[in-house]
Structure 1
Amino acid sequence: VSADNKAFAVTLVLSGGCLAAFAGPEIAQAAKGAFGDENRTYLGAFLAVAAFNILNALFVGAVHFPEASAPPKPSPGEQESEEQQEVGKHHNQDGTTILGLLTRRQFWVPAMIAMFSWAIMVMPMSIVRIAMQQLGYSSRESLLTVELHSLGMFCPGFVTANLINNLGALRVSGLAVVMFVLATTVSMLSTESTSVATWMFALVALGIGWNFGFSSATVLLTHAYACAPSFKPKVQAANDFVMFLLAGSFIFSTGYIYEAGGSSLAGWRTVNTVVFGMIGIMALIVLGEMVLQQRERSERSDKSTDQTYASGGIDDEQV
C-alpha cells in the first residue's frame, strides 16, 4: 500500500465489521441453546465461533501477497561473513537497531493510544448486557445495544481516513478522547429509569471513539519504522504484543471490578469510573505528544531561519 493510501487502507479494513456488527450477535443468539440442554446452553454459540474462525483461516490462506524485492546479492569478492549477516538481522543499513526503534517515543505513543483505546472500549462493552439485564432491560434491548455499539466501531471507517488525512492522526486521537469522555459521561448518567436509547447512544459513541483511537494509532505507528522499513514486521509484532497484553489485563479485570462495585448500577458506575481514569491518562499522552511535536517543529523552523541568515539568504537591513 502506498504511503498516501495507508490511512484509507487501515480504515477500510476496519469497516468490514459493519456487517458483522449485526450478523455476529444474531448468530450467537440463534445458536445459543441449539442443543436443548441446560448444561450446554452456550455450546452452539462456541461451535459457531469455531466455524467462522475456520472460514476466516481459509480466506486468509487464499490471499497472495506480492513477494518483497530481494536485496542485490554481493559479488563473489564481497561475500558477507556469518557474523556480518547476523548483525544485519538486528541493524539497519544506517545503524538503526530494532531495540532502538522500540525505545523511541514514536513507538510507545501509538502503542499506548491503541492499548487504551481497546481497554476503554471493551471494558464497558463486555459487561453492559449483564448490567442492563440486572436493571430490568430485556435481552433484546441489551443485544441491540451491543449491535449498535459494534456498528459504531466499524462504520466510521468510511470517513476516518479523510479525517486523518485532513486533520492528522494525532488530532484524530484527540477526537477519540472527546468521544470517550462523551460516552463515559452518558454511561455514568444511565440508570434503570432512563430510556434504552441513552444506553445505545453511550455505546455507539464508545465505538466511534475506539475507531478514531485505534485507526489513528495504527497510522502513527508507521512513523516508528519509517527510517527502517526492514523492521516493519518486528515493530508491528511488538506493538500488538504490548497492546493486547496490557489491554487484555484490564479487560480480564472487568468482571472483578464490576462485582467489587456491588454489581448492577453500582458496579456499572465503578467500571466507568476506572474507564474515566484511563481516558485521563490517554488524554495526557495525546496532549504531551502534541506539545512535543509542536516544540520540534519550532526548533526545526528556528534552525532553518538561522541557516538562511548564515548563508546570506536574508539581508539584515531588510528585517
Structure 2
Amino acid sequence: MSFANPAPAIDDRLAKRNALLLAMAQAVGAASASIVIISGSLVGYMLLDESKSWATVPVSAMVLGTAIGTLPAGMIMRRFGRRVGFMGACLVAVLAGLLAAFAIFIEDFLLFSIGAALTGFANAFAQQYRFAAADTASDAFKPKAISWVMAGGVLAGIVGPQTVIWTKDAFDPILFAGTYVAQAGLALVALMFVAFLKIPKPAYVRGAPTGGRPLREILRQPRFIVSAACAVTTYALMSLVMTATPLAMIACGLSETDAALGIQWHVLAMFGPSFFTGSLIARFGKERIVAIGLALLAGCSIVALMGLDLAHFWIALVLLGLGWNFGFIGATAMLTETYRPEERNMVQATNDFFVFGVVAFASFSSGQLLDVFGWATINWMVFPFVVLCMVLLGWLLTHERRNLPV
C-alpha cells in the first residue's frame, strides 16, 4: 500500500515576522499623521496673526504631501527595495518633526506647513506597509498579513493623542514644540523596526528580465478598476465626513471634549477590527467584506441624518470607522490579485496616488461644503457613491463568473 506524498505546506514564518515588524512600525509611524491631525490646526491658528481661516492648511498640506509622495514611493522601492525605501521615509519623518518644531519656535507658519507636508510625504511610504506585509505571504495569509499591519493603527490611535497630551507643554510657554520633537523620536523608533525587515528584492531589481506588463494594461483590468474605485470611495467618504463632524458637533452646541472623544472612538473603530478583518475576508471573500464596509458607511449617514444629539454623532463616527476598515482593507486585498510580483510597486503606488489624491481634495473641501451647504448635505452625498460602488462590485462578480476575457 502506497501513499502519495502530501503537498508541502507553505511556510509563512518570514511573512509573519515581517507583518509583526510592520505592524509595530505602523503603530508609531502612523502616530505622526494623527499628531498633525490633532494639533496642526491649533498650531496654525496660533502662528497666524490674520486670516485665521487658513489655520487648517497644515493638515491639508499633510494630506497633499501623502498624495504627492505615492508615486515616488513606488519608484524608489522598485529601484532600491522595500527596506531602503521605508528607512529613508523614516529619516524624512524625523526631519519633518524637527522642522515643524523649529517653525513653532520661530513662529513661521509657512515653514510649519512645509514640515506637515513632509510628514505626509513620509506617510506615503508608510501607506505601503500593508502591501509589503503581503509580499512574502502565501495567498492564504495575505489578507491576515494586511490586517495585522492595519491593526497597528489601533496603537497609533492611542500613541498619537497621548503624545500630544504629554508633550504639548514640554517647552512651555511655547506650546506644541515638544510634540513635534516627540514626533521625530517616534519616527526613529519606526526606523528601528523597518531596519530588521527581510523582504527579498524581486528579480527585476537584481537584473533579471522584468516580464511586467505596461501599466496601462494593468489599470484596464476590471478587478483593478473596481478595487481602486472602492478604495478611493471608502477613504474619501471617511475623510469627508470625519473632517466635518467635529465642526458640526461644535456648531450644534456640543463641546470640544465631546468632539475629541468622538474622534477617538472613530479611530479605534477604524483600526480595532483589523485583528479579525483578515479572517473575515478569508471566510466570506473580499467582495462581501467591501460591500459590508460600504453598507456601514451608508449606515453612518443614516444615523447622522436622524438627529443632532451627542449619541447620533458618536454612533455615526463609530459606523464610519468600521465602514472604512472593512471597505479599505477588503479593497486592498482585492488589489493584490491584479498584479505580478515584478509589477507590484508601481501598481500599488498608482493605487495610492488615486486614493490620496481624492482624499486630499475631500480634506480641502470638507469645511467649505459644511459651511455652504450644511451637515445634512454632506451626509446625503455619501449615498450615491456607495450605490455606485455596490453596482461595480455586482458587475465585477457577474463578469468574472461568466469568464469573460479581461
- TM-score under structure 2 length normalisation: 0.60
Which residue of the other structure, out of 262, 281, 303, is the alignment partner of 1:164?
Answer: 281
- Residue 110, structure 1, aligned to residue 227, structure 2: yes
Which residue of the other structure, out of 393, 399, 402, is the alignment partner of 1:286?
Answer: 393
Per-residue deviation at 1:52?
3.1
Instruction: Give 2:275's aligned amino acid.
Output: F
The residue aligned with 2:359 is 247
Which residue of the other structure, out of 156, 159, 173, is the alignment partner of 1:23?
Answer: 159
CA distance, structure 2, for counterparts of residue 41 and residue 274 of structure 1: 38
**C-alpha contact (below 8 Å) 1:28/1:45 kept by paired residues:** yes
- Residue 221, structure 1, aligned to residue 315, structure 2: no
Pick the structure with greater CA Rg.
Answer: 1
CA distance, structure 2, for counterparts of residue 133 and residue 43 of structure 1: 27
CA distance, structure 2, for counterparts of residue 186 and residue 113 of structure 1: 22
**C-alpha contact (below 8 Å) 1:120/1:279 kept by paired residues:** no
Instruction: Give 1:254's aligned amino acid.
Output: S
Per-residue deviation at 1:33?
6.2
CA distance, structure 1, for counterparts of residue 307 and residue 175 of structure 2: 30
- TM-score under structure 1 length normalisation: 0.75
Q: Deviations over 1:193-228 (max 9, x none)?
A: x2x232221111111110111111111011111xx3
**C-alpha contact (below 8 Å) 2:143/2:281 kept by paired residues:** yes
Aligned pairs (5 A) from 1:157-196: 157-191=274-308, 194=309, 196=310
**C-alpha contact (below 8 Å) 1:21/1:148 kept by paired residues:** no
CA distance, structure 2, for counterparts of residue 141 and residue 148 of structure 1: 11
The residue aligned with 2:52 is none
CA distance, structure 2, for counterparts of residue 276 and residue 135 of structure 1: 23
The residue aligned with 1:2 is 138
- Residue 64, structure 1, aligned to residue 64, structure 2: no
CA distance, structure 2, for counterparts of residue 165 and residue 293 of structure 1: 19
Which residue of the other structure, out of 244, 269, 272, is the alignment partner of 1:127?
Answer: 244
Partner of 1:253, secondary structure, is helix
The residue aligned with 2:128 is none
Query: When the two structures are aligned, how many residues end up with a matched partner?
Result: 268
* Unaligned runs of at least 5 residues, structure 1: 75-84, 262-266, 301-319
RMSD after superposition: 2.6
The residue aligned with 1:81 is none
Per-residue deviation at 1:99?
2.6
In structure 2, relative to structure 1, the CA distance for the partners of 1:272 and 1:5 (3 Å cut) is: same
**C-alpha contact (below 8 Å) 2:168/2:175 kept by paired residues:** yes
* Unaligned runs of at least 5 residues, structure 2: 1-136
In structure 2, relative to structure 1, the CA distance for the partners of 1:130 and 1:45 (3 Å cut) is: farther
**C-alpha contact (below 8 Å) 1:145/1:199 kept by paired residues:** yes
The residue aligned with 1:259 is 371
**C-alpha contact (below 8 Å) 1:25/1:143 kept by paired residues:** no
Per-residue deviation at 1:16?
1.0
Quick one: percent identity of the two aligned structures?
A: 29
The residue aligned with 2:186 is 52
Per-residue deviation at 1:42?
5.4
In structure 2, relative to structure 1, the CA distance for the partners of 1:260 and 1:103 (3 Å cut) is: same
